[in-house]
Amino acid sequence: MAHHLSDYEKFVNTEALLACQRPIEGLVNTHELFFQVTHQVMELWMKVIAYELRVAIDDMRRGDSAEASLRLQRVREIERVLVDQIAIMETLSPADYHPIRMTLGHGSGSESPGFAAILHLAPEVSAAFAERLRQSGATLLDVHKDRRAHQALYGLVQALMDVDSWFQRFREAHYHLVKRVIGGDVQRKPPAQDEGLRQSRATPIRCRARASCGLDGSRPATRFP
Ligand code: HEM
Instruction: Tell me the one-letter amino acid at 87.
Output: A
What pLDDT, on a 0 to 100 scale, did the predictor assign at position 222? 41
Prediction pTM value: 0.86
Q: Are 177 and 89 in contact (CB under 8 A)?
A: yes
Verify whether ligand 1 is closer than 6 Å to residue 38 (CB atom): yes
Q: Cα of 87 to ligand 1 centre, how many Å? A: 14
Verify whether ligand 1 is closer than 6 Å to residue 50 (CB atom): no
pLDDT digits (tens, 9 = 90+) for 153-211: 999 999 999 999 999 999 999 999 999 999 865 554 443 344 443 444 444 455 454 44
Verify whether ligand 1 is closer than 6 Å to residue 200 (CB atom): no
Distance (Å, whole) CA 169 – CA 154: 22
- The DSSP-derived string for 116-169 is HHHHHHHHHHHHHHHHHHHHHT--HHHHHH-TTTTHHHHHHHHHHHHHHHHHHH
Among candidate residues 197, 195, 177, the one with its CA nearest the CA of residue 186: 177
Verify whether ligand 1 is closer than 6 Å to residue 39 (CB atom): yes
Distance (Å, whole) CA 185 – CA 172: 18
C-beta neighbour count of 77 within 10 angstroms: 11
C-beta neighbour count of 133 within 10 angstroms: 21
Q: Are 53 and 75 in contact (CB under 8 A)?
A: yes
What pLDDT, on a 0 to 100 scale, did the predictor assign at position 183? 84
Which atom of ligand 1 is nearest the CA belonging to 189? 16
Which atom of ligand 1 is nearest the CA belonging to 193? 16
> Domains in the chain, please, with CATH?
28-213 (1.20.58.480)
Which of 38-47, 118-127, 185-194 shows the lowest per-residue confidence on average (mean pLDDT)? 185-194
